[in-house]
Amino acid sequence: MSLGDATTVKPKNLICLGLAAVAALGILACGGDDDDDDENGATAVEGAQDPTPQDDASPESTEPEEGDEDEGQDNQAESACPIGALDEAGEPVSITFWHAMTASNEETLSELVGEFNAAQDRVEVELIFQGTYNETIDKYLTALRSGGDLPDIVQLEETTLRLMIDSQSALPVQECIDAEDYDLSDYAERVLAYFTVEDQIWPMPFSISNPVLLYNRNDFEAAGLDPDSPPLTLDELRQAAQAIVDSGAAEYGMSLDTQAGYIEQLFALAGVDFANSANGRDGRATEVLIESETGLEIFSWLGGMVQDGLALDVGRNPSNADQLLAVGAGQAGMALATSASLGSVFDILETGQFPDIEPGVGPMPSLPGEGGILVSGSALWISNRSTPAEQEAAWELAKFLGEPQSQATWHVGTGYIPIRVSAADLPEVEALWAERPHFRVAYDQLLDGVTNVASSGPVMGAYIEVREAVVSAMEAMFLEGASPEDALAAAAAEANEAIEDYNSRVGG
């Protein structure tokens, strides 16, 4: 089937279609359960969200053994970035790097690590694929609990921030930044803000994305809409969807996957905190703030779009492809998608298999407010269980992967956003943006708006459980006819119970 076929794809068949076409689309190449990388969140991994010991823990449990916490506290208290340890080593230091990239993303990462290894003779990096982001954190916590070998540096999804801090197994990169007086002025402010908790940057930012609006320009023209002016607000998005449906350009105005991350993004764009304690950044979050005026406006909009036949609900969409496939099948005119999927989308479009699709990309529509887009993606954590020389070696690698040239290579090879401002001026990035200006949308969106507590994003240990509560509430609204008020109340109650349970385990 081509993206231009008029064949109607019923919702129940979208997953089957996704499985058949996702290999061609390459959406899963983002690594993890993402998007990026599951742009909007990971699926629950049994046991992976509790870093504390439990009496009934089985050998397969991912919680650290009792006693590990004290060891981690001692290491954390003593560890400052050991600058100079590599010089004292006297011979090359080998380190392991666990990652979650696949396909072209893995190829590009291997290329960068190869460049790092070839450019100097003090560090040798072994790149080890560990599966999805969820599988990687699962294996990491299992090794932490059992006393197994931990990687010297590990790539983990942004939602693990609180969990990793609570594991007490990481050297905050702030230690290295301060020890070396490392210049951060060229980094995108929003990216640094996301990974900063209580005035410390914990992991080194690396692989960043955010959601964008992907639409069929042909459908816009058929509906009398300006394809060069995509909707910027939720009201405008509904109006555009209505125009597409009314004109017959597509059966639905947009396809919509049931992702909790979109709710978090809309809170951030509106400049409203998603959780208390300044989004968990001035202290441990104890409750979500979704049962609010902002939450009700978002849920009412979502429910209205589905119930009024303007949005096709494609469900949880584990492949991150079904909402895009609905656009490709001519069933919907618009969809939200991670910016990390754009490379794969445009590559497949260039094959000519989808002649009736003329893609457009715009920023994620939002509510009015003083905020900005959230950071999604991953960062690099340095283990405090490694030797001083291995820690400094990991720091050297993290710095290299954040260099402007490395970020330019990463952006062109994967579609992830360059997190160094100067990378945008490098020739390969300028050439890509000249050929495909759509790729600049996510970058500009990252730099636009206000960087504050709301747009820095929530920090919660029970992140997966909170997202599950929100998704379940959305499903109750879409599939069972629950009112937005009832759905929000249920989501808040379930999420807050999960947060309380998590905090009680870590002593928060």
Domain locations in the chain as residue ranges: 11-29+211-274+293-372+455-460, 68-208+377-425
Please report the pLDDT score of residue 344 as a whole number.
80
Quick one: CATH architecture of 11-29+211-274+293-372+455-460? Answer: 3-Layer(aba) Sandwich (3.40)
First to last CA, the chain: 53
- Measure the CA–CA gap between 100 and 344, rounded to whole angstroms: 17
Residue bearing tokens 């036949």 = 309
| Predicted local distance difference test score (pLDDT) of residue 27 | 39
Sorted by sequence, the CB contacts under 8 Å of residue 224 that are 6+ apart come out as 243, 247
Tens digit of each residue's pLDDT (9 = 90 or more) over 8-45: 333 334 333 333 333 333 333 334 344 444 443 433 33
Cα(62)–Cα(45) distance, rounded to whole angstroms? Answer: 10
Listed as ranges, residues in the chain with pLDDT below 50 are: 1-48, 52-77, 79
Say if CB 192 and CB 184 are below 8 A apart.
Answer: yes
Identify the pLDDT of residue 354: 82
Q: How far apart are CA 230 and CA 491, in angstroms?
A: 31
463-480 helix and 293-307 helix, angle to the nearest 10 degrees: 40
**Helices 404-414 and 103-119 sit at what angle, rounded to 10 degrees?**
160
pLDDT of residue 343: 82
What is residue 72's predicted lDDT score, i.e. its pLDDT?
40
CA distance 440 to 430: 10
Predicted local confidence at residue 371, as pLDDT: 95
* Domain 11-29+211-274+293-372+455-460 and domain 68-208+377-425 have a common topology: yes
**Taking the model in full, what pTM does it have?**
0.86
**Cβ atoms < 10 Å from Cβ of 411:** 27
Domain 68-208+377-425: top CATH class: alpha beta
User: How far, rounded to the nearest angstrom, does the alpha carbon of residue 399 sit from its chain's CA centroid?
Assistant: 21
**How do 123-129 and 93-99 pair as beta strands?**
parallel
**What is the C-alpha to C-alpha distance for residues 203 and 162, in angstroms, rounded to an integer?**
11
Instruction: With beta carbons less than 8 A apart as the criterion, state whether 241 and 254 touch.
Output: yes
* 393 phi/psi in degrees, rounded to 5: -60, -40
Q: Look at residue 50 in the predicted model and tell me its pLDDT.
A: 56
